[in-house]
Amino acid sequence: MKTKIMQKLGMSWLILLFLSLPALAQRDTLVQVSTIDALLGGLYDGSMSIGELCRHGDFGIGTFDKLNGEMLVVEGTVYRVRSDGGVDIVADSETTPFAAVTFFDAELQKQIPAGTDYQSFKQWLDNLLPSPNLFYAVRIEGRFRFMKTRSVPPQHKPYPALAEVARHQPEFAFEDVAGVIVGYRSPAFVKGIGVPGYHLHFLTRDRLAGGHILGFTVDRARVTVDQTADLLLRLPETSGFSGMDLGKDRSTELKQVEQEHR
C-alpha cells in the first residue's frame, strides 16, 4: 500500500515537473505583439486582448486599440496614460495593436548616479550590460529631478501615420517626481520589428500620471535589469496587417516619433 502511494506521488511529481517546464521557459521570453513598423504605418487596431497579454508577462509597455494612450504593465497591473495626462487601470477585454511584455526577474541592480540624464543614462547602462546583442527589460524606481513624457490621443479611420500623430502629441513635464520607469533596451538588429536601443515609459508613484519618456534627470533612483534571449513575435492575423506594405525603411519616422515635438 505504502509503495503504491509513493509510486503515485513520484509519478505526480514527474507530471508536475513536466507540465511546469514550458512555463519556466516562458518566464524569460519577451512576447511582442505586432511590429513597430506596422504601428508606424498606422495599424492601430488591437489584435490581442489585455487578458491574453497578461498571460505572457507582468511587466511591459505598449499602446491600446486606436492608439488610445501609453501602456505600462507594472507587477501585472495594466495602466493607460491618457492623452489628457490622466491614468486608467485597463480592463482585460480591451485590446492592443502593439505591446511587449515579459515576466520580470531582477538580475542586475545598480544605483544610478544623481544628476544622470536620459542620454547619459543610456551610455552608463550600456557600459554595464554584458552585450548589446540581447534584450533587456529595464526597470527604474526612484525620484527624478525632472521628467518629460508624452501620450497620444485615440485615432479615427483612416488612421494617420504615427509620425503625423506625434506632431500634435500632448507633452507633460514634472519636477521632483517619484515613480517607476518600465521598458526595454533592444539590439540594433531589431530594426523594423521593435525599437532599437531604449524605449521607456514612466508612471508616478501615486499612479496618477506618466507617459512615454522623452527625457529625465535622476535624483535618487535604482535600475534593475532582466536579460532576455528569447523573443516571441505575435503577428496580427488580420487583413490590415496582411495587406500592409512593410518593406519600407521607417527608421527616420521612428526617430521623429521617439523624440520631443518641436
Residues lying near Zn ion in the complex (CB under 5 A) are found at 212
Per the omega criterion (within 30 degrees of 0), is the bond before 22 cis? Answer: no
Q: Which is nearer to Zn ion, 185 or 212 (CB)?
A: 212
Q: Which is nearer to Zn ion, 26 or 161 (CB)?
A: 161
In the complex, least distance from residue 176 CB atom to Zn ion, rounded to whole angstroms: 23
Q: Which is nearer to Zn ion, 107 or 260 (CB)?
A: 260
Q: Which residue has its beta carbon closest to Zn ion?
A: 212
Q: Which is nearer to Zn ion, 4 or 173 (CB)?
A: 173
Q: Can you give the length of the chain in residues?
A: 262
Q: Which is nearer to Zn ion, 80 or 212 (CB)?
A: 212
In the complex, least distance from residue 231 CB atom to Zn ion, rounded to whole angstroms: 18
In the complex, least distance from residue 61 CB atom to Zn ion, rounded to whole angstroms: 6
DSSP for residue 218 = E
Residue 193, CA distances (Å) to 58, 85, 196 in order:
21, 28, 9
**Strands, E assignment, the chain:** 29-33, 48-49, 59-63, 70-74, 77-81, 87-89, 95-96, 99-102, 108-112, 135-150, 171-186, 197-204, 210-228, 230-234
Q: Which of 101, 81, 102, 100 is nearest to 35 (CA)?
A: 100
**Terminal CA-to-CA distance of the chain, rounded, Å?**
78
Q: Which is nearer to Zn ion, 183 or 236 (CB)?
A: 183
Tell me whether residue 246 is exposed, middle or buried, using C-beta atoms within 10 angstroms of its C-beta: 0 to 12, 13 to 18, 19 or more: middle
Q: Which is nearer to Zn ion, 9 or 233 (CB)?
A: 233
The Cα–Cα gap between 162 and 38 comes to 10
In the complex, least distance from residue 63 CB atom to Zn ion, rounded to whole angstroms: 7
DSSP for residue 17 = H
In the complex, least distance from residue 20 CB atom to Zn ion, rounded to whole angstroms: 33
The Cα–Cα gap between 219 and 235 comes to 39
In the complex, least distance from residue 100 CB atom to Zn ion, rounded to whole angstroms: 10
In the complex, least distance from residue 31 CB atom to Zn ion, rounded to whole angstroms: 17
